[in-house]
Amino acid sequence: MAPSPEVLRAALDEFRIEVPSWGFADTGTRFGKFLQDNAAGTLAEKFADAGQVHSFTGVCPTVALHVLWDLPAGTDLKEVQKLSDQHGVRPGSINPNVFEEQEYKHGSLANERAEVRDKALRHILDSVRLAKGLGSRDIVAWFADGSNYPGTANIRRRKQWMTDGLRTAHQALDGGQRLLVEYKPFEPAFYHTDIADWGMALQLARAAGPQARVLVDTGHHYQGQNIEQIVAWLLSENMLGGFHFNDRRYADDDLTLGSIDPYQVFRIFAEIRHYEWETGRRADIAYMIDQSHNLKNKIEAMIQTVMTAQQLYAKAALIEHEALERARDQQRLIDAENCLKDAFETDVRPLIREWRQSRGLAADPLQAFRDSGYTERTARERAARKKNVVSSYA
């Protein structure tokens, strides 16, 4: 299939993806955290690294911030604005953190203890205020709430507390803001999770209010679950707010997008592009990355991720929607399937390289970043701080 340059360029012109601040920091698993000398440890370093990704790819103008990790109490938002201006990336989605503090052992908004539910709600309302102060549109609400043993939780009561909390959070939004409800089937809870799947998130978002939507983290699904079907349903309900893209082989592995199953993300983009073709309007979706780079160089992994996302989005833009819909109507299965496979198997890299050069960007952002010496320079600057950091699970 000869890719039509216009269609591809138009798709590349509109595609933007948000990077997560926590993707630049030292992260690990419960079995350990392997430190990298150039890893970001301060908000300034996270903005600097996000600035690198945007300066080399041109398509990551915002960085997602996690409130406790990036905007602890007393943070001067003017300082954050200065960092944003200095590094050319804007604060993006704001992520409250109601899962780390000791009080949240048995949950946050769904905790049996009212004072803990109040504490969590206060933090979420603070996060909405921070978002207003930073000009951020989206508040991403993910909850670790759940239980580990049968019988230990009244699931219906917890559902009601979660509903009440999210409704109150929604009331604090200003007109332009959105509350994105993120679901996850398990981890850290291993018996039940209060917001375990798309249906529960949809129900809670609806109950919260008209500015609430569902966020789909690709790593938050059981093996074999058809994620693009969930995407199709949320689109048809006009309740799809955004994505946390990553890849996985087993569970919520948070690996780099497209490293295990690139066709999965392509099928998601295919659903969205066909919806946009059918409705004639852009879907109001926030494309975001949510990964932890435990082994790879973190900025290189982020640039690799963005390049892969661009390629998969560009391939999906090549789908011939007219032919696809006709083949579906006439139940010509192979022809319909090949509308996707032909697009997926088209090498869009030469046109993407041209698109980058036409925008004064390096044809190969990853190589250009490597040639910049940024990693070596920041490793020298940041290594001093790491001398006395220990990384053990217990």
Q: Which of 162, 160, 168, 159 is nearest to 209 (CA)?
A: 168
In the list 244, 267, 273, 356, the residue contacting Mn ion (rule: CB under 5 A) is 244
Name which of 239 and 251 has its Cβ closer to ligand LRH: 251
Task: Report, in Å, the least distance between residue 260 CB and ligand LRH.
Answer: 17
Name which of 98 and 362 has its Cβ closer to ligand LRH: 98
Name which of 252 and 271 has its Cβ closer to ligand LRH: 252
Contact assessment for residue 1 and residue 338, using Cβ atoms and an 8 Å cutoff: no
Task: Report, in Å, the least distance between residue 142 CB and ligand LRH.
Answer: 4
Contact assessment for residue 197 and residue 185, using Cβ atoms and an 8 Å cutoff: yes
The two tokens of residue 119 are 């504490």
355 is an interface residue for ligand LRH by CB under 6 A: no
254 is an interface residue for Mn ion by CB under 5 A: no
18 is an interface residue for ligand LRH by CB under 6 A: no
The amino acid at 376: E
The option from Mn ion, ligand LRH, none interacting with 243 (CB < 5 to 8 A, set by class) reads none
252 is an interface residue for ligand LRH by CB under 6 A: yes
Contacting ligand LRH within 82-111 (CB under 6 A):
95
184 is an interface residue for Mn ion by CB under 5 A: no
The option from ligand LRH, Mn ion, none interacting with 26 (CB < 5 to 8 A, set by class) reads none
Contacting ligand LRH within 283-302 (CB under 6 A):
290
290 is an interface residue for Mn ion by CB under 5 A: yes
Contacting ligand LRH within 118-177 (CB under 6 A):
142
Name which of 251 and 323 has its Cβ closer to ligand LRH: 251
Task: Report, in Å, the least distance between residue 382 CB and ligand LRH.
Answer: 22
The amino acid at 184: K
Task: Report, in Å, the least distance between residue 377 CB and ligand LRH.
Answer: 28
Angle at 97 between CA 199 and CA 139, to 5 degrees: 60
**CA atoms of 16 and 240, how far apart (whole Å):** 17
Name which of 213 and 356 has its Cβ closer to ligand LRH: 213
Binding residues for Mn ion, total number by CB under 5 A: 3
217 is an interface residue for ligand LRH by CB under 6 A: yes
In the list 182, 194, 247, 271, the residue contacting ligand LRH (rule: CB under 6 A) is 182
Contacting ligand LRH within 259-288 (CB under 6 A):
none
Task: Report, in Å, the least distance between residue 107 CB and ligand LRH.
Answer: 15
Name which of 8 and 138 has its Cβ closer to ligand LRH: 138
The two tokens of residue 371 are 């040639």
Name which of 15 and 142 has its Cβ closer to ligand LRH: 142
**CA atoms of 151 and 85, how far apart (whole Å):** 52
Chain contacts with ligand LRH (rule: CB under 6 A):
22, 95, 142, 182, 184, 217, 244, 252, 290
Chain contacts with Mn ion (rule: CB under 5 A):
217, 244, 290
